Amino acid sequence: MKIGVVCYPTFGGSGVVATELSRAIAKRGHEIHLFSYAPPARLDPFLDGVRLHEVEVSSYPLFKYPPYDLALSSRLAETVEEEDLDLVHVHYAIPHTVAALLVKTILHPRPLPVITTLHGTDITIVGQDPSYARVTRYALNNSDAITSVSDYLREETRRTFGVERTIEVIPNFVDTERFKPAERAGVRRCFAKGGERVLMHASNFRPVKRADLVVEAFARVAQDHPATLVMVGDGPERARCEARASELGVKERTRFLGSQADMEHLLPAADVYLLPSEYESFGLSALEAMACGVVPVVTNAGGLPEVVDDEQNGLLIDEAELGEMGARISALLADAERLAGMREAARQTAETRFGRDAIVDRYEALYESVLTPA
Ligand code: GMT
């Protein structure tokens, strides 16, 4: 098959899923053409066997808002024709689905199935915004197939947009050969020279991630344990988190690393991974941590309970108990046997429920189904 993939290039989960899926599908012998406004953070087009089409948006003094979606549609339409692509798979509905549907109209009667994978905020925040609600509904009703990354997101989509058609839940996945526990002493050396505990958080530091709560929980843990906090990523709340770490007297023990592409090298250094988001449709970064044998501590919200089972493979923190998050982590770190059991269970969950190959099989089957006339 020849597949066009459209995604955001940022460190966010939707771009990561699109990149990892493209890499896996290309390895199976299919031809992948990836469209984005910059090279996706985790993609190595040469090694991954993926053809990258960077969409350039030309500016003109009349354009207060250069029309990215039109530049994307134009580039996509040209490539679909030149390379004879079979289908387009877009990640994140806004504006990618609408751009792909425009291409389908432009090229009509040439068939061009469009698959949309919903990732979360394209429905829960952006999609519901009155500025985008109508086009989001149009995108949902006119895609040839829709997938969502969790049951939670499927139900949210149905509830918010009254969509009755099939939405297939295909959960996110992790490459458990790349994301795996490492020899602990070696990998921890850079953060925990004295053998202290390592807590980690990685995100785009948007308000929804509540990264300040990570710092607060860490300050509580640091009362009981020698510990280091590693904060990976960058975004609007980062400065506030740094200030909070100073206020709470833990700045010296906190490392802000900025954005990092090679999370598989960093995550195994941690004991615990914190993701106290207001909600997550899935929580891919927590899954990557689990694959590395790191215990996820996440909020009991959105799709996170579909990934983390409380007290089994991690800790699920109810909204009302967020103030206790640090104390719960501290108690866990004090119990070596319980911690080791949870590490093992976390890794096992990643392997058995969210392993790459079984989930990529489902996407491949979906591609085949949209190409087969009913
Ligand atoms: O965070 C976003 O604004 C969107 C998106 C992204 O590109 O990072 O994240 C979503 O997609 C990920 C991959 O499917 C999920 O793991 C994240 O939970 C989801 N983010 C939210 O729901 C906030």
- For residue 150, is pLDDT > 90? yes
Give the residue, by CA position, lying nearest to ligand 1 atom 8: 12
Domain boundaries, the chain: 2-173+355-371, 184-353
- For residue 204, is pLDDT > 70? yes
Cα 281 to middle of ligand 1, angstroms: 6
Q: Is any atom of ligand 1 closer than 6 Å to the C-beta of 210?
A: no
Q: Six-digit token pair at 354?
A: 């969210």
184-353 has which CATH code? 3.40.50.2000
Residue 272, beta-bridge partner list: 199, 295
- For residue 194, is pLDDT > 80? no
How many percent of the chain have pLDDT more than 70? 98
- For residue 193, is pLDDT > 90? no
Segment 177-200 shows an average pLDDT of: 83
CA distance 177 to 351: 10
**pLDDT tier at 38 (50, 70, 90 boundaries)?**
very high
What does the radius of gyration of the chain's CA atoms come to, in whole angstroms? 21
- Give pLDDT tens digits for 340-374: 999 999 999 999 999 999 999 999 999 999 998 76
Only one residue has tokens 């509830």, namely 159
Q: Six-digit token pair at 1?
A: 């098959």
Comparison of pLDDT for 282 and 192, the residue scoring more:
282
pLDDT of residue 185: 61
- For residue 195, is pLDDT > 90? no
Cα 121 to middle of ligand 1, angstroms: 6
- Give pLDDT tens digits for 247-294: 999 999 999 999 998 899 999 999 999 999 999 999 999 999 999 999
Give the residue, by CA position, lying nearest to ligand 1 atom 4: 121
Give the residue, by CA position, lying nearest to ligand 1 atom 14: 119
Cα 373 to middle of ligand 1, angstroms: 32
Residue 158 amino acid letter: R
Q: Is any atom of ligand 1 closer than 6 Å to the C-beta of 282?
A: yes
Segment 297-315 shows an average pLDDT of: 98
Segment 307-332 shows an average pLDDT of: 97
Q: Which atom of ligand 1 is nearest to the CA of 303?
A: 18
Q: Is any atom of ligand 1 closer than 6 Å to the C-beta of 280?
A: yes
Q: Is any atom of ligand 1 closer than 6 Å to the C-beta of 233?
A: no
Q: Is any atom of ligand 1 closer than 6 Å to the C-beta of 17?
A: yes
- For residue 47, is pLDDT > 80? no
Q: Which atom of ligand 1 is nearest to the CA of 208?
A: 23
Least confident window among 45-49, 293-297, 307-311, 332-336: 45-49
- Residue 228 · residue 197 · CB < 8 Å: yes
Neighbour-count burial for 225-236, b at 16+ CB within 10 Å, e otherwise: eebbbbbbbbbe
Q: Is any atom of ligand 1 closer than 6 Å to the C-beta of 281?
A: yes
Q: Mean pLDDT for the chain? A: 94
User: Helix, strand, or coil here: 116?
Assistant: strand
Q: Is any atom of ligand 1 closer than 6 Å to the C-beta of 275?
A: no
Give the residue, by CA position, lying nearest to ligand 1 atom 12: 13
Do the domains 184-353 and 2-173+355-371 match in fold?
yes
Segment 64-89 shows an average pLDDT of: 97
Q: Is any atom of ligand 1 closer than 6 Å to the C-beta of 208?
A: yes
Only one residue has tokens 């089409």, namely 53
User: Helix, strand, or coil here: 327?
Assistant: helix
- For residue 317, is pLDDT > 70? yes
Cα 282 to middle of ligand 1, angstroms: 7
- Give pLDDT tens digits for 90-109: 999 999 999 999 999 999 99
- Residue 93 · residue 118 · CB < 8 Å: yes
Q: What angle do CA 332, 149, 166 make, to 5 degrees?
A: 145
- Residue 179 · residue 288 · CB < 8 Å: yes
Collect all residues with Cβ–Cβ distance below 8 Å to 205 and sequence separation of at least 6.
211, 233, 234, 235, 236, 237, 238, 241
Pick from 372, 183, 208, 352: which is nearest to 283 by CA? 208
Segment 19-28 shows an average pLDDT of: 96
Q: Is any atom of ligand 1 closer than 6 Å to the C-beta of 254?
A: no
Helices (H), the chain: 13-27, 45-48, 68-83, 96-107, 121-124, 133-142, 151-161, 184-188, 211-224, 238-247, 263-266, 284-291, 325-333, 336-353, 356-371
pLDDT of residue 184: 66
- Residue 54 · residue 38 · CB < 8 Å: yes
Least confident window among 62-71, 214-223, 336-345: 62-71
CA distance 198 to 222: 10
Q: Is any atom of ligand 1 closer than 6 Å to the C-beta of 299?
A: no
2-173+355-371 has which CATH code? 3.40.50.2000
- For residue 127, is pLDDT > 90? no
Q: Is any atom of ligand 1 closer than 6 Å to the C-beta of 127?
A: no
